Every structure is written in structure tokens, then in C-alpha cells.
Structure 1
């Protein structure tokens, strides 16, 4: 049996959980430099409507469905499944205002049918 895997994003959150992030980031205490030291540069930055700076870290780990490798059927039906992690950190000035870590199951389908 052949299995194809793919991962991408910020490797620094690959093994993180909500509890492990909460142990490293404390709202109202942790600074931007401490977040950067722990997780590196974010994959995206933005600003909220109220002007707070927002940093986003993502990591995706996916595997192709076994059905992809069935002759003919796999040519028409493609799919993959895995997990996607998001760490969002919102700052007020140079200090963390709020943060959240989410880990979600993801599934994608494609093909002609």
C-alpha cells in the first residue's frame, strides 16, 4: 500500500496543544519578542478593527485517502484528510492581549465526480 503525506506551515506549532501554548503565552504578560522567540515569525499579520496587531501561525498535516490509489476510481475521485492547527495572538502594544490555539480535523475532496 502506498501512502502520500504532506505538511506545511509553521513547524514551531506542529507539536503544540492548547495547554502547551497556554503554558508559554500569558495574556497581559507575554511580549511580542517572547512570542517570536518561542514560535518564530508568523505566517500572517493583520490588524483588528480596534487597531490591535494580530499574528497568525498555521500548520497542516494531511494524508491522501487510500481510495486515491485504486486504478481508475482514484483517477476520478481524489481526497485527503488530516489536521490543521491555528495559533492566533492579538497584541495591545507590545504585550499579548488574547491568544487561542485551535486544532481541527480537515478533509478535502476533488476529482471529476
Structure 2
């Protein structure tokens, strides 16, 4: 009798509770492309101003000509609640990740040459092979 009640309750609880995770909870988490464009202006905004607005970059690279490229990444991942249900999770589980990526190219004087802002959503489904 207890098992008949316990298993449905476990299923309902697992469906209601989904896991989630976030990286980079700074300005990029709430900013959209228009907001970014107001603060990062080609030929005008400096590295110091970008750092004051967004904080330190998640990644820094250099072009062959020595220009700096900064990248900022914002990711939010939500795990489907069914993932946590034994056996059911194998077939119905998965996750969804929303990502924002801001890439900024600076000239050798530390002024923005150009920037790109991209968003995407990826959904992953558990599969049995």
C-alpha cells in the first residue's frame, strides 16, 4: 500500500524539481544586444571602460597582428526534472542551455574595433542506444 503512494509522489516531486546552473552572473546575464551596443561603441570605448562595465573577460586571445580579443560567456542550464527519475530519466531526461557570447576586438591602443553578440539555445535529450 505504501509503495502505491510513494512511487507516484516521487515521480511528481522529480518532475517539479529541475536542476539548473549558471555561469557568469554579471551584466551579461541580464543585458540584451541593444544594452550592450549602448555601452560598447566601435572606435570609442576603451578596455578600461569595458572592464568597468562587464568585469574581467572569461577569455583573452590575441590575433596574429597583436590585437586583443576578449570574450564574455553567459550560460544558463536547466535540467529536465524527469532526468532524476530512475529508469524514466534514461528515456525522458535532458537539459536546455541558453547561451550569450560577447566577443570584443581591441586595437593596439586598447580601443574597441568591433564586437559581436550572439545568443543560442541548445536542448539535449537523453537517448538509449
TM-score, normalised with respect to structure 2: 0.77
Structure-1 residue corresponding to 2:87: 72
Higher normalized strand content (fraction of residues): 1
Gapped regions of structure 2 (runs ≥ 5): 1-15
- Indicate if the aligned counterparts of 1:10 and 1:43 stay in contact, CA closer than 8 A: no
From the CA coordinates, give the structure whose radius of gyration is larger: 2
Cα deviation, residue 98, structure 1? 0.5
Deviation sequence 1:85-110 (CA, Å, 0-9, x none): 11111000210001111111122345
Q: Which moved more, 1:29-38 or 1:40-49?
A: 40-49
Gapped regions of structure 1 (runs ≥ 5): none
Structure-2 residue corresponding to 1:108: 124
Q: What CA RMSD, in Å, does the superposition of the two structures yield over aligned residues?
A: 1.9
Q: Which of 62, 68, 72 lines up with 1:47 in the alignment?
A: 62
| 1:1-113 equivalences in 2 (<5 Å) | 1-9=16-24, 11-75=26-90, 78-93=93-108, 94-110=110-126, 112-113=128-129
Distance of aligned partners of 1:11 and 1:112 in 2 relative to their CA distance in 1, 3 Å threshold: farther
- 1:8 and 1:109 map into 2 onto residues whose CA distance is 21
Higher normalized helix content (fraction of residues): 2
Cα deviation, residue 78, structure 1? 4.1
Q: Tell me the matched-pair count.
A: 113
